[in-house]
Amino acid sequence: MTTYHSLEIEGLQVFYRKAGNPDKPVILLLHGFPSASHMFRELIPVLEKDYYLIAPDYPGFGNSSSPDRDNFKYTFDKITEIMEAFINQLGITKYALYVFDYGAPIGFRLAMRRPENVTAIISQNGNVYREGLGEKWADREEYWRNPTQEKRDSYRTAFAPETIKSQYIDGTKENQVSPDGYTLDIAYMSRPGNDEKQLDLIFDYQTNVKMYEEFQKYLQEYQPPFLAAWGKNDVSFIPEGAKAFKKDLPKAGIHLLDTGHFALETHAKEIGELMLIFLKKNGI
């Protein structure tokens, strides 16, 4: 069964859920925007018999501390630093990475820092290629080049309730997505002060795109076992992002699923089964 915990790191409470036997191989589950570790609630039961699963909430997300911007720098480098300390405090030295959305640049930073720790990577709409950027990213890159306050304010729509709901529903068949996930994310995103923190991360996302070549060099050099389980109807990270992994990882398994960005909302069992086959095939 899943249990719920928190660790103190740099004065912050980092919430996490865990399941499975600590003697089994570890899978670190890294969530995306605008969600938290609850996004793995249906995947964990598929895997917990065979693996030890750990799913943290980043600072400013879910049930982890959400420090003021005066006291915490909302960047992907800083969140990675907290996640690295989290891993170290748990004493984990080997783990497979499951990366989704924001979890991809965080997970790949971790992998680059400690490549010997990573046993495999599962990417579910976790992009590290320019080919995977949907049309909306052209506007974001213009914002990064010319970061006016007006443009910054325009991105408040990214965490508006209707936008969050659309992220869950777009690209899925009618009536397949439970309202529980997006309703909870809307509540998280509407907390006082959260808007400016999320706008900081939207602006800082440019650092991830600039690091794509570094992420790709890591893949080329270390050749980690790799599985992409990708919602092919995602408009943020389009299927070309999944296919692009083959350039650097010829043995990568690429599975395009008939769903949207939050593929676990409709395909948790299928993704879990793909993971079990993949991990066992690679001796994990």
- Assess whether 261 carries a catalytic annotation: yes
Q: Any residues with CB less than 8 A from the CB of 87 and at least 6 apart, and which?
A: 28, 95, 110, 117
Q: Any residues with CB less than 8 A from the CB of 143 and at least 6 apart, and which?
A: 151, 152, 154, 155, 203
Instruction: Dig out the tokens for 256 from the structure.
Output: 């395009």
Instruction: Dig out the tokens for 252 from the structure.
Output: 């990568």
Alpha carbons 75 and 164: distance in angstroms, whole number = 21
Alpha carbons 121 and 61: distance in angstroms, whole number = 23
Q: In angstroms, what CA-CA distances link 14 with 32, 42, 72, 111, 183?
A: 16, 21, 14, 20, 22
Cβ 270 vs Cβ 257: under 8 Å: yes
Cβ 121 vs Cβ 233: under 8 Å: no
Instruction: Dig out the tokens for 223 from the structure.
Output: 């050749």
Catalytic residue among 31, 38, 261, 267: 261
Cα dihedral: 195, 197, 202, 208 (round 10): -160
Long-range contact pairs involving 218-221 (C-beta distance under 8 Å, separation at least 24):
218/108, 218/111, 218/112, 218/115, 219/245, 219/248, 219/249, 220/248, 221/115
Give catalytic residue positions.
Answer: 261
